Amino acid sequence: MAKAFSGAFLAFAVAYTLFAFGLPFMAVGRIGPGFFPQILGVTLIVISAYSLVQDFREPARESADDDAPDGASGDAAGEGSGGYGRAVALMILVTVVFVVMLNVVGALVAMVLFMFAVLYLLNREGMVMNVVLSVLLPVSVYLMFDVWLNTTLPQGMFTFLG
């Protein structure tokens, strides 16, 4: 199953990158709309190709689970892909709330809240690090896009930030 997922993701990365290279890299002395997508696409191809190679080098885990007695496989014990359904559902919910909140509270506040919610879901033990990352990373992204690249981000009700 991991090989199929890695192969499908590699195919997606190649299609995305081909689309990205159809966009201009530079536009009138500034970076163009293809700048970030092209970098992201090439990075996705490299990472997903590496993952696919690793999946083929790794001995098959499914066959090891088939040899185990009923109920003794890794998935039944909560290890492996079976125990992540709740976390995936929560991440989807948090992402949908983030997208909705972008125009309500603005990009900066929405990013801080999103980062904290995600980090809280995935790492409840490291609260200090969660708070630090939840503030520093969104502020850095906001400064990069709003100040350095001079792009517009949703301001929401906090129009004094722009």
pLDDT in tens, 17-65: 999 999 888 878 777 888 888 999 999 999 999 999 998 888 765 554 4
pLDDT in tens, 56-109: 888 765 554 444 444 444 444 344 555 678 888 898 999 999 999 988 898 899
pLDDT in tens, 113-122: 999 999 999 8
The set of residues, in sequence order, having a beta carbon less than 8 Å from that of 66 and lying 6+ positions away, is none
Determine whether 38 is exposed, middle or buried from the number of CB atoms within 10 Å of its CB (0-12, 13-18, 19+).
buried
Residue 15: which of 54, 39, 45, 36 has the closest Cα?
Answer: 45
Residue whose entry in the numeric block shows the structure tokens 């909140």: 101
CA distance 99 to 110: 8
